[in-house]
Amino acid sequence: MSKQVKMGMLGLALVIPSFLVLFVIVVIPIVISLLESFKDKNGRYSFVNYEHLFTDKLMRSNIIFTLEVTIVSVVLVLIISYALAVYMRFNNGVAVRWIRRTYMIPIFIPSVIATYGLIQLLGNHGWLARILLQAFSVESMPRIIFDKKGIIIAQLWFNIPFTTMLLGSALSAVPNSVIESAKDVGAGFLRIFFKLILPLTFKTLLVAVTFVFMGVIGSFTAPFLIGPNAPQMLGVSMEQVFGVFQDKQMAAAIAFFTFLLCSFMGYFYIQNMIKEERSRSA
């Protein structure tokens, strides 16, 4: 046996266990729920669930609402995390030290507790409202809890730490020498940022987008507890359709649609990875 074939077999042997796990816990359930989602009430195959999903006023507003929350959250998380990571990478001092020490804290707080904390903080008569009333006699605050804004704030809380960590590690991989040499030839900060730093961290940025997107679109706890009654995010709606209306097929259709949205994201991501790989091996 040639060495190459041996290596190939080793490679396959290493991949197969994880592939099998993947197959059993991901691929099979997806296929089952896909089949389930095409069944109508009498067990016959039809498009009735998807028709309902895209024509029902309530469902359509749920989808739009979910996408709105997701996109706004992704954009905000990326802007804030990237700014934070860049700041931590290129500055030193007390502020940076404190940010570095504290920015991971949200990861260690269970999401239910964090969500209730947000309700206490931002609710109608919450701490923030009381502080504003005492200090600035601001009488009325916009509604944050039981509203889209509340969900987005919660998503920021959940997603910023990890994204910052991810981007931070990518930024630390940008060699100082590159930046210094660019500075030597007279490039300004903006120019360095757009010509060097951004392209060098673009791949990680894409990873971060994928992760935040999937995390937000599939989130449940925060939207369930602080979201409005209608429209709902898809996760909440799925739970309601499955658990309360007991319409398994409809829930499967929502689940599959959510999966499609996620795999759409994943597709671009993988596509980009392959391109990268090709250009490297070429």
Partner 1 sequence: MLRNKARVLFMIALSLTFGVLSACGGGASSGTSQGSGSDAKPASDNKSAPATASAKPAEFSFYFTGSQNVKDLWDTLIPMFEKATPDVKVKPVYVPSGTGAQPTYDRILAAKQAGKGSGDIDLYEDGVNYVTRGQKDDLWDTLGTDKIPNLAKVDQKIMKDVANLAVPYRSSAVILAYNGDKVKDAPTTLDELYDWIRKHPGKFAYNDPSTGGSGDSFVTTAIYKFLPEDAIHNSDPAIEKQWDQGFALLKDLGKYVYGKGIYPKKNQGTLDLLASGEVDMIPAWSDMVLDQINKGQLPKSTKMAQLKPGFNGGPTYLMVPKLSANKDAVAKFLNFILTPEAQSVIVTKMSGFPGIQLANMPQEVQDKFKDAAAGFRTFNIGDLGKDISKRWQSEVAAQ
Q: Which stretch binds partner 1 (CB under 8 A): 13-21, 44-52, 175-183, 197-205?
A: 13-21
163 with 73: CB under 8 angstroms? no
Least gap, CB of 22 to partner 1 (angstroms)? 5
Q: Is residue 18 part of the contact set for partner 1 (CB under 8 A)?
A: yes
155 with 69: CB under 8 angstroms? yes
Q: Is residue 92 part of the contact set for partner 1 (CB under 8 A)?
A: no
Contacts of 247 (CB under 8 A, 6+ apart): 241
Q: Is residue 143 part of the contact set for partner 1 (CB under 8 A)?
A: yes
Scan residues 241-280 and list those touching partner 1 (CB under 8 A).
243-246, 259, 262, 265-266, 269-270, 273-274, 277
The residue among 193 and 224 lying less far from partner 1, judged by its C-beta, is 224
Q: How far is the C-alpha of 116 from the C-alpha of 110, rounded, in Å?
A: 10
Binds partner 1 (CB under 8 A): choice among 134, 137, 177, 229: 229
Burial of 96 (0-12, 13-18, 19+ CB in 10 A): middle
170 with 201: CB under 8 angstroms? yes
Least gap, CB of 229 to partner 1 (angstroms)? 4
The contact pattern for partner 1, residues 30-69, with x = CB under 8 A and - = no contact, is --------------------------xxx--x--------
Q: How many residues bind partner 1 (CB under 8 A)?
A: 52
Instruction: Give SS3 for 44.
Output: coil
Q: Which residue type sits at 227?
A: G
Q: Is residue 102 part of the contact set for partner 1 (CB under 8 A)?
A: no
Binds partner 1 (CB under 8 A): choice among 37, 221, 252, 254: 221
Binds partner 1 (CB under 8 A): choice among 50, 90, 193, 224: 224
Q: Which residue type sits at 48?
A: V
The runs of H, that is alpha helices, within the chain are 3-22, 28-37, 48-55, 57-90, 94-102, 111-122, 127-136, 148-172, 176-184, 189-192, 198-217, 221-226, 234-239, 248-281
Contacts of 58 (CB under 8 A, 6+ apart): 230, 231
Instruction: Write out the residues near partner 1 by the rule CB under 8 A.
Output: 8, 11-12, 14-15, 18-19, 22, 25-26, 56-58, 61, 111-112, 123-125, 143, 146, 210-211, 214-215, 218-221, 224-225, 228-231, 235, 239-240, 243-246, 259, 262, 265-266, 269-270, 273-274, 277, 281
